[in-house]
Amino acid sequence: MVNYKDLGLVNTKEMFAKAIKGGYAIPAFNFNNMEQMQAIIKAAVETKSPVILQVSKGARQYANATLLRYMAQGAVEYAKELGCPNPQIVLHLDHGDTFETCKSCIDSGFSSVMIDGSHLPYEENVALTKKVVDYAHQFDVTVEGELGVLAGVEDEVSSDHHTYTDPEEVIDFATRTGCDSLAISIGTSHGAYKFTPEQCHIDPKTGKMVPPPLAFEVLDAVMEKLPGFPIVLHGSSSVPEEEVETINKFGGALKAAIGIPEEELRKAAKSAVCKINIDSDSRLAMTAAIRKTFAEKPAEFDPRKYLGPARDNMEKLYKHKILNVLGSDNKL
């Protein structure tokens, strides 16, 4: 058993309480490798932002669970090296799908876990979430539950439809499970292909496709039922147009990739939404920089020469999200 406090990590409790009061959201960035982690920590330190390092079940399989834990411990020391004496870094399991996965993460030093029982019948979701909460709270680990289903694909999580969260269920769910935060469905979606062209309309001024607006009425109803309770948005990548254009310019084939408008995410961040998950955007930033290097320097084969620019491009993206979308800068 490794306690996250011994690794220098924190849980989300105080972080979320401050975010709700302050009208901003904590960035929850997924990482699978060293370059992503370096970019996340540099961006967080330079903007003086708390940050959540998210690890999916797929990332644990790809990078090795033990290595990821030591990377998170290294992230804390790296932040200190960069001039942040008291970093606020959470190591969070994204989309845990079984009690065993959540327990494994808690036992290996995670400070926060998500148990996603949203695909189960309601009573089974309640029972599974409560089981994880009862175990996690023994070690002061915070737990995120989920109500409602998000469409799209992310690692091993996929659905071809979304179901908005039912505000009538949230009080019962939060009370009976004891979860610390709740991921809800208001129209965000996993992956880079969040909407079909048929779901969008063309902006007459710009000629660009605009996705359907988020269901803020659902968010408002949830906040009315659970005032001051930490709300989480998954599937909140904006799919930056410039990164998609770079990828396609240098041989990629990303067609009709549309994300969530950043102004909608900023609006959500000013409410009880205190954690916003971003994964696809950093993948796009990384891929765009690598494709550009390969196209412009076809003789290059040193990984540092293409992963270095990729890391820099991701750091730029993370800073932009913190400063202009989430508002979590200078909140340490």
Q: What's the CA gap between 186 and 194, in Å, rounded?
A: 13
- Report if residue 168 sits inside a domain: yes
- Report if residue 287 sits inside a domain: no
- Does residue 201 surpass a pLDDT of 80? no
Tens digit of pLDDT for each residue in 20-41? 999 999 999 999 999 999 999 9
Segment 152-172 mean pLDDT: 70
- Report if residue 331 sits inside a domain: no
Q: Which residues, including other chains, have CB under 8 Å from residue 151's CB and lie 6 or more apart?
A: 159, 160, 161, 162, 189, 190, 194
Tens digit of pLDDT for each residue in 138-151? 999 999 999 987 65
Sign of the Cα pseudo-torsion (263, 197, 149, 136, in order): negative
- pLDDT number for residue 204: 82
Q: Is 94 one of the catalytic residues?
A: yes
- φ, ψ dihedrals at 132, nearest 5°: -65, -45
Set 94, 97, 180, 279: catalytic member: 94
Beta-strand relationship, 151-154 and 157-159: antiparallel
- Report if residue 295 sits inside a domain: no
What is the number of structural domains in the chain? 1
Residue ranges making up the domain that contains 48: 2-243+255-280+313-323
Q: How many residues does the chain have?
A: 332
Half-sphere exposure (CA, 13 Å, Cβ side) for 290? 16
CATH code, domain with 26: 3.20.20.70
pTM for the whole structure: 0.93
pLDDT tier, 206 (very low <50, low <70, confident <90, very high otherwise): confident
- Report if residue 259 sits inside a domain: yes
Tens digit of pLDDT for each residue in 44-54? 999 999 999 99
- Report if residue 210 sits inside a domain: yes
- The answer to whether residues 57 and 121 touch, using CB atoms and an 8 Å cutoff, is no
- Report if residue 74 sits inside a domain: yes
- pLDDT number for residue 103: 98
- Report if residue 248 sits inside a domain: no
Segment 241-245 mean pLDDT: 94
